[in-house]
Amino acid sequence: MSNSKFKDVFVVDDDKVFHFIIQKLFSKNNINIKPSFYLNGLEAIETIREKVNLGVSMPDLILLDINMPIMDGWQFLDEYRKTCTTNTSTTGQTIIYLVSSSNSITDLNKAKDYQDQIKDYFFKPMTLEDLKKIF
């Protein structure tokens, strides 16, 4: 798995234990990527807006939690859509996976409303098999 197609990875999750687990999964599987970690959707969307304004490339991959303070995953997706539709050169480049401990029918159904933005939905804790599906 060491030759990753992803160079710039955002992990948007308020759980620092999840950040640690992702780093361990990456290093144990020779995924030579240093992800950027964000504790809520607002931090991540601000960075993405900066990238858009500067005309630099968007993240290749975003692992996005749903339940976070300040701006949750759904709000992030709404803002991401607005940000990227104003700049057509950025759409379609970033692959987004929802990674959540929520298995509620409400969240699973809501994810269907975002099928144009999210590639898949993984449950925490992420496993090596999940990672193989992504990488």
pLDDT, tens digit, 9 for 90 and up, residues 70-116: 999 999 999 999 988 766 555 447 899 999 998 899 999 999 999 99
Q: What is the pLDDT of residue 86?
A: 62
H-assigned helices in 9-127: 16-28, 41-54, 73-85, 105-112
> What are the structural domains of the chain?
9-134 (3.40.50.2300)
Q: Give Cβ neighbours of residue 96 (< 8 Å, ≥ 6 apart).
A: 61, 62, 64, 77, 80, 117, 118, 119
Output the six-digit token pair for 29. Answer: 């599987």
How confident is the model over 52-62, as a mean pLDDT?
89
